[in-house]
Amino acid sequence: MGNCILLSHIHVYGNELYKHSILSFALDHCRKNNPNDFIILTGHGVRPDEDILNKADHTIWKDEIDEMEIGRGHPKIVDLGVSYALEQGFKYLVKCRADSIIVIPNIVEHCIDILKIEDKEILVSLGTEKVKYGLGDLFVCCKPSLLKQAWRPDRWDYNKNGLQNFGIGFLENLHYTYPAFEEWMKFLRSEVSYRDPINLGWVDLLGPHPHDGSKWKYFLQNHTIESLIDNEFNSELYVWGKDWNHIPDTYLDEDFFYNG
């Protein structure tokens, strides 16, 4: 079996139907730029039209929003997609937000090359923390079996965010005792590859909170769909985290990760 891309972390309230347009485009972009990979979509809330859902190779969509999932990593809905990838025997997966795109073509192979060069089993991105057990949960590349073992909704602590739940799950999967905070970076550097969003070509289509569709409207006003799908735009202006008012000081970046 080949590789797959899991698009998830999307929910749609009744006043957020613009997300259907974002999702439709993100699926088209993913297909164009990753023609050899199987696309899995998971989400919840107001159901998109079937012609949108059918752009994925396999869709798991819950029509009712699970409020407990939001802001906590969407543990259950993501796990459904990971379980399917594992059952189907895919070798590697990239898990990413369904309201974003990756402008590097064949992103799974790109990430696998990084893992091989750095002799690691998992690659993550923004959200990984310096002094907590936070592991970036919105962009992940690894084997489905590893993600299934580290992503444990049955042990999810809903008083913590997705980053910390994922980090703790990864620690426990490797049978580590909880290191002192000052040892956390040593652990990460020994077990994980990291890339900043800009070096993954990870573009945010939704924008920061509060979500109102304005960023997507800006995209459509300033670019053609064709130019966006063909990556004929300056993606660096729109990478994940670029338009946040403030990136938390606890979040690490690529230079800190590799150079200290």
| Contact yes or no for 83/151 (Cβ under 8 A) | no
161 found inside a domain: no
The SS3 of residue 65 is coil
Residues 6+ apart with CB under 8 A from 30: 5, 7, 39, 101, 102
Give long-range contacts, CB 8 A cutoff, 24+ apart: 166-174. 166/73, 166/134, 166/135, 166/136, 166/137, 167/128, 167/129, 167/132, 167/133, 167/134, 167/135, 168/133, 170/122, 170/135, 171/133, 173/146, 173/149
**Is 8 domain-assigned?**
yes
Residue 62 lies in a domain: yes
pTM: 0.96
Inside any domain, residue 171: no
Mean pLDDT calculated for residue range 9-19: 97
- Token look-up 């799908």 returns 229
pLDDT tens-digit map of 122-161 = 999 999 999 888 999 999 999 999 999 999 999 999 999 9
Look at the block and give the residue holding tokens 């613009």: 18
User: 97 lies in which domain range?
Assistant: 4-130+137-145+193-248
For residues 103 and 84, the answer to whether their CB atoms sit within 8 Å is: no
| Residue 91 within any structural domain of the chain | yes
The pLDDT assigned to 181 comes to 66
Domain of 109, CATH number, reads 3.90.550
Residue 225 covered by a domain: yes
Number of Cβ within 10 Å of residue 2's Cβ equals 12
Residue written as token pair 């966006």 = 228
**pLDDT the model gives residue 132:** 80
* Residue 172 included in any domain: no
d(CA 151, CA 55): 26
Q: Is the peptide bond between 210 and the residue preceding it cis, with omega within 30 degrees of 0? A: yes
**Predicted local distance difference test score (pLDDT) of residue 1:** 81
What pLDDT, on the 0 to 100 scale, is given for residue 107?
98
Counting the structural domains of the chain, the total is: 1
The answer to the question of residue 9 being in a domain is yes
Question: How does pLDDT run across 156-177, given as a tens digit for each residue?
Answer: 999 999 999 999 999 988 877 7
Q: What distance in Å separates the CA atoms of residue 74 and residue 81, rounded to the nearest whole number?
A: 11
DSSP code of residue 197: G
